[in-house]
Amino acid sequence: MELTTVWFILIGVLWAGYFLLEGFDFGVGILLPVLGRDDRSRRLAINTIGPVWDANEVWVLVAGGATFAAFPEWYATLFSGFFLPLLVILMALIVRGLAFEYRGKRDSARWRRGWDLAIFWGSVVPAVLWGVAFANILRGVPLDAQHEYVGGFFNLLNPYALLGGLTTLALFTLHGAVFLALKTDGPMRAEAGRLAERLALVAVPVAAAFLIWTGAANRDGLGIALSVLAALALVAAVPLTRARREGWAFTATGVTIVLAVTALFVTLFPNVMPSTIDETYNLTVNNASSTHYTLTVMTWVAVIFTPIVLIYQGWTYWVFRKRLKLSDIPA
């Protein structure tokens, strides 16, 4: 296999990992106002993701760094072209990250309310905008012959992209609800489960609409097949939640996210960013990539260190596998 293909796959894996992992901690943040009616239950919800959200967020940093190293043209075009949405995402992630660490550091209801809002908006905004960004990548954007984005800001807010944003928002929220049902015991477990069932009523049609639109626009056989599987996994999450098989339900929403990202990358290939101006201006794995030497070096680094990272991150989830309940939270 060409190294450019290998790196296209690896970057797909990094994004899939990012959405799979940070997807549920975004979801927990989004559900904070709904499920955390008093301070103690909010803290319970936050503590389910406490040990892991930071490491989850690193996936996007590595995805960004890997894109820079393997496909610098893609990195440059994407990040400068999507300047304002990325700026908003960055600011959201900044206040969100600080909120987790700082909200409990002052004994004041106003202080905590402020940071709770930061957690909510800091989770909603990236959950929507990542979807908007990826839908735009898939749809294609105005790129000129120099691979520069010439579209302006409002070009990014087209109906397809907004539906993409809605899809990631719905999926991550559901994923977060299922995660909360999996990681808690007592009233929150039951409540999160019920909420997940209701959220699925929104997530299934929205995601289906987005996947159908994507399939119709691109007519990529493998992409459509993967989308159908993703949709099936999403539907399966509903009875699993109802049966209180939260582990399996979480697996189902996780599989949905991973398959959807895979479908997206499969559909995109061999482009990394198609141009709507002229097909010959498309950014592809070939014209966006680093040299063979750099890709070789990066491949060795990835082959050696990715398994190590996966092992110790997996171990973290094992260490904190216990369900949390209200009585675990110190008053």
Partner 1 sequence: MDALDLSRWQFGITTVYHFIFVPITIGLSALVAGLQTAWVRTGKEEYLRATKFWGKLFLINFAIGVVTGIVQEFQFGMNWSAYSRFVGDIFGAPLAIEGLLAFFLESTFLGLWIFGWDRLPRLVHLAAIWMVSIGTMLSAYFILAANSWMQHPVGFTMGDGRAELTSIGAVLTNSTTLVTFPHTITACFLTAGALMLAVSAWHLRRGNQDEVFRPSLRLGAWVVLIAGLGVLITGDIQARVMTEQQPMKMAAAEALYETTESASFSLFTIGSLDGSEELWSVRVPSLLSFMATGDPAGEVEGINDLQAAYEEKYGAGDYVPYVPVTYWSFRLMIGFGALAMLIAAAALWFTRGDRTPRSRWLWIAAVSTVAMPLLANSFGWIFTEMGRQPWTVFGIFKTAQSGSPAVSTGEAATGLIALTVLYGILAVIEVGLFLKYAALGAPDIPPASDETDKPLAFAY
For 147, the token pair is 């691979």
When asked if residue 318 is in the footprint of partner 1 (CB under 8 A), the reply is: no
Q: With respect to partner 1, which residue has the nearer C-beta, 248 or 320?
A: 320
Closest alpha carbon to 268 in 166, 157, 145, 137: 137
DSSP per-residue codes, 254-275: HHHHHHHHHHHHHHHTTEEE-B
What minimum distance in Å lies between the beta carbon of 102 and partner 1? 6
Among positions 115-154, residues that touch partner 1 (CB under 8 A) are: 146, 148-150, 153
Beta-strand ranges (E) seen in the chain are: 271-273, 283-284
Q: Which of 3, 16, 20, 78 binds partner 1 (CB under 8 A)?
A: 78
Q: With respect to partner 1, which residue has the nearer C-beta, 45 or 249?
A: 45
Backbone torsions φ then ψ of 276, nearest 5 degrees: -85, -10
For 86, the token pair is 């990325």
Q: Do 60 and 18 meet the contact criterion of CB atoms below 8 Å apart?
A: yes
Q: Read off the amino acid at residue 77.
A: T
Number of residues that bind partner 1 (CB under 8 A): 74
When asked if residue 157 is in the footprint of partner 1 (CB under 8 A), the reply is: no
Among positions 241-270, residues that touch partner 1 (CB under 8 A) are: none
Among positions 25-54, residues that touch partner 1 (CB under 8 A) are: 43, 46-47, 50-54
For 188, the token pair is 């929150």
When asked if residue 80 is in the footprint of partner 1 (CB under 8 A), the reply is: yes
Q: Which of 25, 57, 116, 191 binds partner 1 (CB under 8 A)?
A: 57
Q: Which residues contact 165 (CB under 8 A, 6 or more apart)?
A: 128, 129, 130, 131, 132, 135
Q: With respect to partner 1, which residue has the nearer C-beta, 54 or 279?
A: 54
Among the candidate windows 90-98, 213-221, 222-230, 269-277, which touches partner 1 by CB under 8 A? Answer: 90-98
Q: Which of 6, 9, 34, 58 binds partner 1 (CB under 8 A)?
A: 58
When asked if residue 301 is in the footprint of partner 1 (CB under 8 A), the reply is: yes
When asked if residue 13 is in the footprint of partner 1 (CB under 8 A), the reply is: no
Sign of the alpha-carbon torsion through 200, 204, 210, 211: positive
